[in-house]
Chain A
Amino acid sequence: MTRRHLLPLVTGAGALAAGFVLLGLGLALAGYDAPLAMSALWRGAFGSWDAFISATLVRAIPLICIGLGLAIAFRAGALNIGGEGQFLVAAIAATWVGLQVGGWPAPLAVTAVLAAAMLAGALWIAFPVLLKLKFGVLEVISTLLLNFVGEALVSYAVTGPLQEARHVYPASDPISVAARLPVFGGSRLHWGVVLAGIIATLLWLGFTRTAWGFRLRAVGLGSRAAATSGRIPVRRVLGSALLWSGALAGLAGGLEVSGVTYNLYQNLSPGYGFTAIAVALLARLHPFGVLATGVFFGALEAGAQGMQRDAGVPAVTVSVVEATVILIVLLVEARARSGWRFRPATELAP
């Protein structure tokens, strides 16, 4: 194993260790029973086969899908910080389609739900793409702002057009049985996990073996140089990278409705769109790396629920670990100056 491969592993492990030490210290300082909380976190994520399959892996699926999408965009130097909004809007679309397809054969119904979700995710980011290419608006800010619009839309949907029949709860009716993804016997793990693996493999092939992957990297490494070469349509590469990242975040929203919740409600996402940034960065934008870091952060989310249940520590606390991991990875990357670095594509060819 060369140094090039070793550094990210050491960094990642170190960052995670630091995050956990910080979490433990913070919990102790805030007056919680830190050992109890940490062991509850562990049990919630890895305590049993069922905890791993039904909690950790189930939460890893959306993180992996969004993270893979972010890997596409980040590779091109396009910073999509709107995964949360794309996820939520896609969940609305998935729920709506899932309510309509009652009589359909199951494979067709599920496909329709997931396709609608991907389309919705792509459409939600199409607006920032348009603003970027037509008006030069930084996609960072536009995608961020649309997260809040997406939240408002979910809130409207579950109290308005998609509210359950009795109009009591801010939630939709369950989608029809045909539109639900099958689960692996006895667990809560749905077939989305296979889909996530397939997409990761396809992306790995795409990144390493195709001209598309090369163009992404070229634009990400220097959009002006790429444009000057005359052989790379920078605007199209950037636009399509963002659209795909939106579509994959959308797929995550579709899988969540079709495989886990079966309906739409507020707070459907515990911040998957933001956690996925840590997932993609820690994996250094490598698709198989995203599978690993996605499972890890899925474990963190699952453990957070366990921590809240058994030790009374608010689940939101784990986002401190996520933030620490991102910051340390950034620090080490910046210090090492080796391998991949961010060069946001702000210079666009006219």
Chain B
Amino acid sequence: MNAALLATGFLAAAIRISTPLLLAATGELINERAGVINLGIEGGMLAGALAAAIAAAIAGPWLGVLAALGTGMLVSALFAAVAIGARANQIITGTAITLGSVGLTGAIYRSAFGVSGPALSIPTFQAARLPLLHAIPVLGPALFEQPVLTYVGWLLIPLAGWFLFRSWWGLALRACGESPVAARAAGVPVERVRMLATVAGGALAGLAGATLVLAQVGTFAERMTAGRGFIAIAIVVLGRWRPLGVLLAALLFGAAGALQFALQAMGLAAPYQLFLALPYLVALVALAGATRKARAPAALGE
């Protein structure tokens, strides 16, 4: 295999793996900028993945996306009601939401498809070639022959940047994350802003789950998100709570995931569990390096 092909394959895999992480992390970024740390996005992602699988099997991939968005919003609305409405501890609330999602998705999946699950036949998103751009050597086929949802993830980055740092609503949202007291004094309805931010973040978590099913794996499996929601939280820290940083950090994790395929292609024999553990280890090292360098929203988790 020649080097150019290998590089293209590696990059394409890295981007494919990074997309659900990017979407979930963008959602978590919006949450955290509003002062909400939502560990429930792992659950929202998982629930979104199941909803996407079922809806897509019935009515095609686009309805799968819609179902995942709605499910993610529903799950995060429950989080918002408890953690923001009643001001319960956000971290424990998020953990409980994720725990419940694991149970619920497992039960629904098994009751709908049986224990072994006669392999769901799900229509998936095929790669969409962007005209001209895909012809760029090496990079073209890697970057611009991706499923539509990848492009959606990329488009959301400048959009989130504009919203957070250039719009009045973004300013209000960041004020809720920095100093809710001051925001309230300025007339910002803090609780409502935080709830809306949480639900918007939940929609993106659901979309991340849909991407996992419809554009990466092609089927649903119990606990299939396997901590990707938690890695998304690490990505937000590593990206220093900025959209562009989140994009780069998500790509780093995509690369860590793609390393498995690259090393196998190069004939390197290492226990596959090492590669399973790699993204989590990368996340820990990244957190150690990034936490003190970046300042979190001052009222995060309060």
On A, residues with C-beta under 8 Å from B are: 26, 30-32, 79, 81, 127, 131, 134-138, 140-142, 144-149, 152-153, 155-156, 159-160, 271, 274, 277-278, 281, 313-314, 316-320, 322-324, 326-327, 330-331, 333-335, 341-342, 344, 346
Contact = CB atoms under 8 A, between A and B. Distances in A.
The SS class assigned to the B binding surface is helix
Nearest to B108: A30
A156 B283 contact: no
A323 B100 contact: yes
B6 interface: no
Given A149-B281, A323-B100, A326-B99, A30 B111 contact: yes
B284 interface: yes
30 contacts: A131-B287, A131-B288, A134-B288, A135-B292, A137-B288, A137-B291, A138-B291, A140-B39, A140-B91, A141-B230, A141-B287, A145-B284, A148-B280, A149-B277, A156-B273, A277-B99, A278-B96, A281-B92, A317-B104, A317-B106, A319-B100, A319-B102, A322-B100, A326-B96, A327-B82, A327-B88, A331-B82, A334-B87, A344-B91, A344-B301
B231 A145 contact: yes
Nearest to A135: B288
Contact of B111 (A31, A155, A330): A31
B198 to A, nearest CB: 15
In this complex, the member of B82, B100, B289 whose beta carbon has the largest number of chain A beta carbons within 10 angstroms is B100
Contact of A318 (B103, B226, B277, B280): B103
Contact of B89 (A149, A330, A335): A330
A346 B222 CA distance: 34
A314 B107 contact: yes
A79 B91 contact: yes
Contacts of B104: 26, 317, 320
A82 to B, nearest CB: 11
Contacts of A334: 86-89
Contacts of A327: 78, 82, 88, 93, 96-97, 100
Interface of B: 39, 78, 82, 86-89, 91-93, 95-97, 99-104, 106-108, 110-111, 115, 222, 226-227, 230-231, 233-234, 237, 271, 273-274, 276-277, 280-281, 283-284, 287-289, 291-292, 301
Contacts of A326: 92-93, 95-96, 99
B95 A274 contact: yes
Nearest to A127: B284
A330 B271 CA distance: 42
Contacts of A344: 89, 91, 301
Contacts of A159: 271, 273
A149 B111 contact: no
Given A79-B91, A333-B88, A334-B89, 11 more contacts: A26-B107, A131-B288, A136-B292, A137-B287, A145-B231, A159-B273, A271-B99, A277-B96, A278-B96, A327-B88, A341-B89
Contacts of B283: 141, 145
Contacts of A331: 82, 86, 88
Contacts of B39: 140, 144
B103 A319 contact: yes
A81 B89 CA distance: 14
Contacts of A144: 39, 227, 230
B24 to A, nearest CB: 14
In this complex, the member of B88, B96, B230, B291 whose beta carbon has the largest number of chain A beta carbons within 10 angstroms is B96
